[in-house]
Structures are given as structure tokens and as C-alpha cells.
Chain A
């Protein structure tokens, strides 16, 4: 009953702090490199693991899971201990969480460039790493719930609820989206095909944004802004409403990523409606955050931390306004597949997440090292160039997106496309890519200043690893006269347990529910002519995935005149029934490929892959020269086919038995076609091209979308 003394664990907070800084630099650096590849396609000429298709996932993962990830853990581990007046539940768990997470990041940083990817955005990691992620996440969850249980303060502050939401939902979504059947140590097939895969992917994808990049950061907002400004949140009641309404609406906004696709229309409408509703809680939160600083603008003026927060919240407001707007079907019709979306997400990450975290870093380094910030001036400089960077990044991309979209849709009076050649629409916006690169550079410079500033501060201060605090334990006494404090705290425990157990239950239950579901043949209205991929095409498709072609090329022609005119007949749900995973893509840096098959002859494809600019001058596609050097490894082809059959692809025993022979025949045939071109003979006569990866890829490309033509 009497006051207890206890120590806050600052060590773990410190670790996360530095991890955030380091991974922040890494993530942004990769981002910058990727941005440069738009301008200098040859920058990493011939280095497979530095090609755009492989770096882009690395960038997104580093930014989201490494930088923001560590950032939110930093915030959670610091604020949660203090809000609950308790040390973290278990130091070992904390350590496991930290080091485990870093290992996962390293693993990702190695495997992604090597092309081990599931191709699903923000879920690219292959199955072994996925397992690790789930494991560490559970550790985190236990550690968190444990802390809540042993808290010394009755009321659970709203920030904690945002954290809880993150832990619970991310766990479930991640599991469901990453369900896959392994083929080898680093290759697996999503258990869902085509349309279904797309739906669940974006159901996850959107909620990754919602519950990984938004709710925890909101939690941080609700803790750190009042703390730094030293004034209570504008309306605590509003913040509670904000939380609960957000939770109930977010979950179903996913489909807005798939408007006008082959997804059933009502699902799309559903996504739209919910996304539009989202603006209310989101802006409620933004207003709440900003109004907290009302009458404290003098503080804002002198405190760089608050400056960062203000811009961060504004960014949140912008992003959450754009989101619903982009979910309007007619807006989406223009914006989708363009750089507009890229700009949109970067407002979220650079301004909202990045600045929120930056502010927290500056504030915490003082707290952790018990000293003043090394240089307020530097912090202010960081703020200004950072803000500039964000603007330089976003605005050009909005323009680029809009311009390109209009060019795609522009028709001549005679009904032909004005910009029939996709490349024109790309070269048109190259200046914007330049500006974007500059913006990125500014932003990363700012962040480097932060790193320096923090190191200096740490150097002059001295860290307090365990901070003494005291508080009376939670002597739970019911407000009525029952001497039943046991009963009460029991109720207490029950709630938390309830949460954990049901979560687990849902996860397991969900699994059980769907496993049989996918063992039965998927009953999409199958189109007769749609046939499974041949062995060679299948291998080609996996190379397509490995090289991350889907990062620049969509495979989803929307039912617009402009797109049908440009790419061919629009895509039907039935065409994707054998696509494990789906490869619709989300951005058209290059043209859509869904009707690519037979558009050009094999040699064109061959040359284009080896040296894109030879066939399409001015193309910004990197050359995939290594495809002619690497031998095609089809050792697992039969496993692949059998697994796919498990998932409902109608491969006959026959086909599987003869897979290898079929494959070799296809390859040989393809080389034979290639040899029709004297040029080819001149260069590759003595090369056994039919044994190389390139033939597989070509085979796949030539097959794309041809089923309906038969």
C-alpha cells in the first residue's frame, strides 16, 4: 500500500533511440538512391542487387519497419512506463524485442536486394522472416500487456489505447496477409490467388498504414505534445472519441486501393464509403493536437521540438484529407498508378511520421542524457531544410502525377491517343523527378544534422540507465463498499487476458477457417480459355517477381477508354485465378503489361531486357543484363507445381511429372525463335541462351494476357 520506489528502464529507450537514428539514415539513403535511379537509370548498371526493382522494397521496408518501427517502439517504451508508472514488464523481453527486431531488419536488408521477395507491398519479406516478425511481435505484445497489468495508475491514458490497437491489429493482419505455402527456404506462394490476393493484400496494406504508421504515432502525439508544451491535451474527451471511432472505421477502408480493378464493385464502393468517413476522426485528432498548442505559440517559436510537432500534425491533416479524396472513384481514376500517390504517402512518412519522430528524438535525448540539447540552432536548421525537403518532394510529384495522368488520357479528334508512346509521358515528368531527388537530399541532410546533434548531446550528458520514481501501487478498491479489492483487480486482469486470448483465438480460428477454404478449388467464374502457366512461364513469373518488375509495371487494365486503347481489353477477374501471388502493381512508372503477350516478338523482348534504351530510346528502365548470364534454376519446378495444385491450380500428375522436359522444350523453342534474328546470332551464337533465366522471363511476358485471345 505504501509508496513503492521503482526504476524506469531508460536503457531500452536509449537503444531504440539510436536504432531509429541509424535506420532512419539507411532508409532515407536507399530512398535517395532509388530516386536517383529515375534520373540515371544506368547508375547501378549491371549490379542485380542494386536494381530499382529490388531496392524499392528495401526502401519502403526500411522506412516503415526499420525507421518508423524503431521510432514508435522508442515512443512506446518511454511513454508507456511513465503513463502506467511501472517499469516494463520484463527486461529480457524488452531486449529480445529490440535485438530481434534489429536482426529482422538486417535480414530484410540482405534478402530483399537478393530478390527474395513475396512481391506483396510492405509484406515483401519471405516466410522465414515473416515467422520471426510474428514471434518478436508476440514478445512485444506480452511485454506490453504485462506492463499494463502491473501498472500503478488506475486510468489507462488514451495513448496506451492507441498502442494496444497497434499491437493487436497488426498481428492479425500481418498473419493473414502473409499466409503462404513455402517452396524452398526463400520462396513461397501466397495462398490466395489474383483478385482474392489483391483484396487481402490491400486490406492489409491499408491497415499497415493505419495501425503501424498512424495509431502508434497518434499515441505518441497524445503523450509528447502535452508533455513538451506542458499543457493538457485540448480535449481529452475528444481524444477518446478519436480513438474509438478510428478503430471502428479504419479496418474496412482497404479496397480503396483497388478502385476500378477487377475487384467486385460493391467491395470497392464499401472501401470508398469508409475511406471518406475516415476524415472525421482523423481531423478530429489533428484539430485536437493543434489546439493543444493554442495560446502557446510563443513556446512553439522557441522550441524546435514543438515546431516539428506542428508540421507533423499538419502533415497528418494533409495526408488524411488526401486519403479520402483519393478514394473518390473519379479522383482515383486520375490519380491511381501515378506519382500523385507516391507524393501522398511521402507526406505521411516524411512529414507526419518523420517529423513526429524527429521531435521526440530531440526531446528524449535531453531526458535520457539529463542535459540540454547540444545545439538548438542545428535543430532549427534541420527543421527548416526538412520542411523545405518535404515540400520539394511532394509538390513536384503531385504535378508529375497530374500531368502524366492527363497525358495518358488525352485523345486526338480521330480517337487515337495523343501520347501513344508511353515513354513520352515519362520523359515529360523527368524534371519533377529531379526536384524530388533534391527534396529527398534536403530531407536526409536535415536528418544527418539530427544524428550529429544527438551524438554531441549524448556525449556531453550522462545517461541515466534506470530512473528512480515512486508511486503507490494500484490498491484497487471498488467505489462501493465491498471489501473486494481482489475481485476488482481480478476483473482488471480479466480485461487484458480477454484481449490477448481473443486475439490469439481469432488468429487461430481464422487460420482454421481458411485452410480448408483454400484446399478446395477456388471457384472464381473461371474463363474456359484461361489455363495454368506452363513450367517455363511459371519460372519466368518467379523471375519477374524476383526482379520486382511489379514495382514499375502494373498488370491491371482498368475499364477506361484510354487504357483499353493503350493496352488492350480491360482485365477480368477470371484471368487471375492462377496468379499466386497477384501482380497488379500500384504504380505505372512503365506501361501496364497485362496484355503484353505477343505484342512484340521474342527478340524485341530480349533486346529490351538486355538494353532497354536500344529498343525504346529514353527509357528509364534498368538493363537486366545478368538475365543472360544466370542459368535458369528449375530444380524446384515440380515442388512449385505440386504446391500450386494444392492451392487449386489444375496441374495434372502428367504435367508435373514431365515438368522438366516440357520446360526444356519450351526453352529450346524460344531460343530457336530468337535465332531467327541475325543480330542475336552475332552476339549470342555461342551462348546457351535456352539455359538462361531470360528465356523464362520472355516466355512469361509473351504469355501475359493472351488467354482471352485464344
Chain B
């Protein structure tokens, strides 16, 4: 359907619409506003509040855990026992009316005193009176008007972290000082022997001196620290020469000004740091849009409902769950720990863990693993492992997750800067010595001059601006990388491992195969009519697959055994639909899921579901096969082998029946054979392997939902662009290398002046920004150019 414009905010209405008085709205907010506006009396607000059924049923219990004080404490940002402040992350915020509604909550609910929206961050900050409304009520209320807050202890507020304030201070100070020093240095650029200038230059110079101090002693500190750490670990990183440069600049200029021998280089120094910090700033900005440090826990409920010995229901934080605790798992809730099914019907969807989207029925007494999502009704279970020991956590407990950054990629910059520093120092000393024997007065100056002019500002700017820019461009195409090193790492890999389910296959449309079924049209329609009543994923798939219209007639004695099958009678025709188990047929192991149809107790055949592969997968593999050796690493059975074999290039290696831990070890082995591995997978079952491999890329159909810890997240839609992405990374590296050459050339020019002892402040002040700016422009333009085709 073509998109309608929201009657209120004029935005295009996304998927579901809200319609009042045949006017369409994009969101509840707009609708609400409109409704309120249509009433002239304020009373409408109260009507609105009392409106029955405003709070959907399942919301009722959803927030029970907010009854427990310690959880509330965790969530609140401020609480003086009376006034409370809480900040929610509300993904639904999307237009100005949302802002209006949310900032006028007090009109709907007296308990709310003040509410403030941060639109870019999609957060809402509410100040409310505890005595008048509880946090639980508040959340339920906000959810009820269409803005369900996303509450989780891990990432409650400020999901998208901003650039650290410290850096902003450092940068803005640099910028400010740079400007003013330029202003005060200008006169001396123009003419030197002017009467008034002669009189005032001292003043100007000392003002510069004063202003440079905050830069040298505050703004630049990061570089000293990094340089120091570098040296400690016996690595000559880029910051070493930078620090040398800064110190040289400062001392030389200080000397010149104090002993009134010259103008000094404070303008250059200020400019240098201004540019460097701008680079850093840019870098940070581009890096912080996705938080990668995801722990599976953050996808678990904060608390679950436990049942005390007395049978009372209390909410308990999952960390506090003990062996033998009885807990209730409601519809749509996640199983937080391993346990034994006690009573109720558990139909668990483990796609979260295995990527396998078919629900699994659990009988009482069966073992339940953490990570499953309950699909139907409520069940009760007993905890057999505390969160810390449960199957999932053990996987996550694997040492590789403990290692902070287990892949230290020595970047080009570091490699280069090592030799760079050595060369610079030799030149400095060399020329210093030379002058020492020819013209002592110049020796020191030349020495510092060399350090000054070779200060690798441009060099340091190359990577933030090239890699940073690429990072941004990738991001725009739903390919998010943890940091710039990953781009460099991408160019080094020689092996690519794909997970099967959910990675190269889709979780959405499953191919349904109805060949083995023969029923007449009437039966088909009856079947559709019946299945319509079940919301089991498989039922839905079959339902979709039948084009014929449904029958109007009623269904008699309808019955559904959740997770097993359904039965019903339409026009005296009795239909049974379900698994072999349900229909007690004896079924042998297949590589496909089957749903059998019984009509009047005779088998009419079965529907078979196979998983489909994403578009362009073949192409993808063929594009990659020459450069990389490709492996498919799947947790499923051999079922798909034949199909994959004929689909994918011959040299593709296929591995099946790999438990998560096997996958991890498999990657380890490859690495021990000296392979550099990129793993592409989804779901927690790949988490280990992803973390182990040199580069782990998590595939996701929706970047905001679960992705395991990884070096990058790729949107499933562009998975077949991987060759392109890899290619761009390669080109980017070439660009970087060439720009190194440029900055070296600049240095050579500068060195000429320095070594010959004729480096004037003016030359420095021109050369330095010139090199920096040209480099920035060069890399930004080119990186944009190479990635234009994305």
C-alpha cells in the first residue's frame, strides 16, 4: 500500500496506522494530541485517563518486577524519598507530537510533575511524586499511551554514548586559543619593522605565551600519556614523535620569547593541536553509534516472578535466583536460567540461541535451557543452575570473553611511526651535530626545528579521517564496525566462515513444500479455516500458503495442543493437523520439518518446511571463492549438505553438527594453522566463534535486536555486499599509504628549511596547517570516491 501521511505531524505512517474519525495518524502521540485538541475542555484528559482497557492485558503483569524496591532503586536516577527522577529509553519517539505528549504527561497524570524529552537520544526524563504514582504505574501508563519504555539494567539510559566531555573541553580550548593566538600573531606576519609593532610585539608574544599554557598542559595531555605508555611497552607509536614535536615547539618558543630573540611558534603549536584534536573528535563521533559491549544478560528480563514455598508470587532479580527456586515464565518472556519444566505448557522458541526458528514443545520434567522464549501461556519451572552456571553462561564464561582485547592489531600507523621516529631523531641529532661544528649558535635551534617541522600531525590525521570516514559510510549502509582497526584487519583475512541458519538462510519466509499432499479444494478451504485459529508459526506459514478463501461456517470442537497440533470439525469434516508425535505416526529423521494432515482420520500427506537461502548467496560465494577459502559452519544436521554442495562453489568446506563450543574450537584450530579468520554468524550459538575469530561479524535482520558481542554488525540485507565492503577496505588502505607518502613529502620540504637552519615561524605556520588540511581533504574525498558505489 502507498504510504499515507499522518494527519497530525505529516510524517509518513509507518507499518501500523491509527485511525480516528477517518483521519490517519502515524503514532499514538499524534492521535492523542489530535484527540485532546478536538476537545475544548481540559476534562477530556481525565476521560482519557479513565478510558477502560487503555492498558493492554499483557502489560498488566509485564512490569511486576518494578514492585521490588532494589530494582526501582537501580533504575531511578534521583530519589529523595519523595520526588523521583527516572530516565527511560523510548524507541517510539519519532515526531514533534511525541515530544508534546510526553512533555505534557502531567496533564494526563497528576503524579507526574515534569517530563523532558531528549529527541535525538529518544530518552524521556520524568520527575514524579512517589506518593502519587509508583514507578510501575508510571511505566505502565507511559506504555499505555503508546510509548513503551525499554528497561534493562545493562543499558538503561544513554544507549548511544556521546563523545567524552573531556575531549570536547580539550578541543574547544584548543580551538579558542588557536583563534586568539592567530589574531595576536597576525601583525608579525605582515610586516616586521613597523613602529607600533616594535612597541607591542612583546605584549602580543607574552599574551600568546599565557594562552598556550592550557593547550600544552591540558589539551595535549592525551598524547603525552599515550606516548609514555607506548614507550613503556617499548613501542614507538605515533604519539611519541608528536609529543617530541610539542615539547620542542613549546621550549623553543618559550626560549625565543623570554630572551626576546623571536616570535616563537605558539601559533603553529596551537594550530597543530587544534587539528590533531579535531581528528580525535571526529574519530570519537564516528565510533560511538552502536554499543558493542553486549552481554547476553542484557537481553534477559531484569527479574522474574518466583513462587515462594508459601506459593506467594514475588519478583526476584535473576542474579538472585537460587537452585531449586520455582519461577513463572509468562508468554513472550525469556527463560533466564537452565531448569526443569514443572507444569503448564512450555513452547520455547530458541531462535535466540540457535537461530532455529521452530518452536520446541517441552513436557514437564524435561530440561529447559536458558535463552528460550515462551510462546504460549504460562509455565512453571525449577531452577537447576544459577545464572552463572547455566549452559549459556558457560559458553559466555569461556576465557575468550574475559580477554579484554585479544586481537592486538598493530596498525600501519604504529609500524610506520616506529621507523619514522627513529629517522626523525637521527636527522635531528645529525643536523644538530653538523651545526654544532659549524655554527654552534644554530645547533640547538636546528635540532628543535627538525623536531618541530617533522611533528607528524598530518600523519596522525590520516587514519581518523580515512578510516573514520569509511566507518561512517559503512554505517550508513548498515555495516557497523567496532572501530577503525577492524577495517585494517578486514584487509588481512584469508578465511571466511559462514554460519548457516539465520546467516545465509533467512528466518523469515520458509519454503513450504506441499507436493506430498493431495486434498480437494473444499478440504483445502476447511484446512485454512481451521489453521486460522492457531498462532503457531508453522500454522501461520501453512495458512499463508493456501490462496483459497476460508469458509464462513463455524468450527465445532476445536482443540489445540500448543506446540503439537490442532483438531476441529468443519461441515462434519474432521481435520487433524500437527506433528507425527501428535498424530502418533512413526516418523524417521528428516532434514526438514513436517506437518501432517489427517482428514477424517486418514493421512492426506504432509507439508514440508525447508529453510531458504538469502538472495545472491551463490553469487556472494562465487565472488569470494578466489580470494578466500570459504567454510560453512552449521549447528544443524547434514540435511542441507547436498543442496549446499550443488549451490556453492566446489572448494567450499562444509561442517555440520557443530555445537557452539565446537565452532569456537574449529576457529581456534584454523588460527593455529596460521589462518586469519573472519566469522559471519548470528545468534548466541555463534558468539564464541565470533569472539574467537580475528574478525567476528554478527548478521542481524534488525540491528537493534539481539546481536552477540562482535567486531561488527552487518544487516542481513547487505550480506551479499561483503565482497564490495572487503574491496573498499583494501582501497582505503592504499589511500592511507599514499597519503603517508604525501605527508612525508611535506616533511622533506620542511626538513630542508629546518636542517639549513632557516625555519621561520611564518614558514612553520604556513606549512603545518597546509599539510594537515591537504591530507584531510585528500583522504576524505578519495574514501568517499571509492565507496560511492555502495
Contact = CB atoms under 8 A, between A and B. Distances in A.
B259 interface: no
Interface string A1-24: 111000000000000000000000
B186 A1 contact: no
Nearest to A274: B183
Contacts of B196: 264, 266-267
Contacts of A248: 176, 179
A472 B176 contact: no
Question: Which size bracket describes the interface of A in this complex?
Answer: 20 to 34
Interface in B156-209: 176, 179, 183, 186-188, 190-191, 194-197
B562 interface: no
A477 B127 contact: yes
Contacts of A154: 116
Contact of A481 (B77, B183, B197): B77
Given A154-B116, A266-B194, A525-B195, A475 B127 contact: yes
A479 interface: yes
Interface string B102-132: 0000100000011010000000000101000
A481 B78 contact: yes
B788 to A, nearest CB: 25
A265 B113 contact: no
B96 interface: yes
Interface stretch (B79-87, B296-304, B703-711): B79-87
B191 A266 contact: yes
B114 A472 contact: yes
Contacts of A481: 76-79
Contact of A479 (B77, B114, B179, B188): B77
Contacts of A472: 106, 113-114, 127
A252 interface: yes
B186 A266 contact: yes
Contacts of A267: 187, 196
Interface in A87-126: none
A483 B195 contact: no
Interface string B68-108: 00000000111110010101000000001000000000100
Nearest to A472: B114
Given A248-B179, A478-B78, A483-B78, A269 B186 contact: yes
Nearest to B128: A1
Contacts of A483: 78, 80
B78 A477 contact: yes
A232 interface: yes
Nearest to B182: A273
A6 B484 CA distance: 54
Contact of A264 (B127, B183, B188, B194): B194
A158 B437 CA distance: 62
A232 B97 CA distance: 13
Contacts, number: 63
B183 A475 contact: no
A475 B83 contact: yes
Interface string A191-213: 00000000000000000000000
A480 interface: yes
A266 B77 contact: no
Interface in A479-497: 479-483
Contacts of B76: 481
Interface string A548-571: 000000000000000000000000
A493 to B, nearest CB: 20
Main SS of chain A's interface residues?
loop
A525 B195 CA distance: 9
Contacts of B85: 477
Contacts of A274: 183
Interface string A617-637: 000000000000000000000
A47 interface: no
A480 B187 CA distance: 48
B30 to A, nearest CB: 15
Nearest to A270: B186
A192 to B, nearest CB: 15
For B79, B96, B114, which residue has the most chain A Cβ atoms within 10 angstroms?
Answer: B114
A154 B87 CA distance: 16
Interface string A258-299: 000000111101100110000000000000000000000000
Contacts of B116: 154
Interface in A451-510: 472, 475, 477-483
Nearest to B176: A248
Contact of B113 (A2, A232, A264): A2
Contact of B187 (A2, A3, A270): A270
A577 B191 CA distance: 24
A475 B191 contact: no
A265 B195 contact: no
Contact of B186 (A2, A232, A273, A478): A273
A676 B106 CA distance: 93
A248 B180 CA distance: 9
Nearest to A273: B186
Contacts of B83: 1, 475, 477
B197 A264 contact: yes
Interface in A229-269: 232, 248, 252, 264-267, 269
Contacts of B191: 265-266
A266 B196 CA distance: 9
Nearest to B129: A1
A235 to B, nearest CB: 12
Contacts of A232: 96
Given A252-B183, A266-B190, A483-B78, A475 B195 contact: no
A270 B114 CA distance: 50
Interface string B260-286: 000000000000000000000000000
Contact of B106 (A3, A266, A480): A3
Contacts of A477: 77-78, 83, 85, 127
Contact of A1 (B113, B179, B197): B113
B19 to A, nearest CB: 25
A480 B85 CA distance: 10
A266 B197 contact: yes
B187 A266 contact: yes
A483 B195 CA distance: 61
Interface string B757-779: 00000000000000000000000
Contacts of B96: 232
For B78, B106, B129, B176, which residue has the most chain A Cβ atoms within 10 angstroms?
Answer: B78
Nearest to A244: B172
A2 B83 CA distance: 11
A252 B180 CA distance: 11
Contacts of A1: 83, 113-114, 127, 129
Contacts of B127: 1, 472, 475, 477
A478 B113 CA distance: 16
Contacts of A269: 186-187, 190
A573 B413 CA distance: 56
Contacts of A273: 186
Interface of B: 76-80, 83, 85, 87, 96, 106, 113-114, 116, 127, 129, 176, 179, 183, 186-188, 190-191, 194-197
Given A472-B106, A472-B127, A475-B127, 6 more contacts: A266-B191, A266-B194, A267-B187, A270-B183, A479-B77, A481-B76
9 contacts: A1-B129, A232-B96, A264-B195, A266-B186, A266-B187, A269-B187, A475-B113, A477-B78, A479-B77
Q: Which A-B residue pairs are the 3 nearest by beta carbons?
A: A266-B187, A472-B114, A264-B196
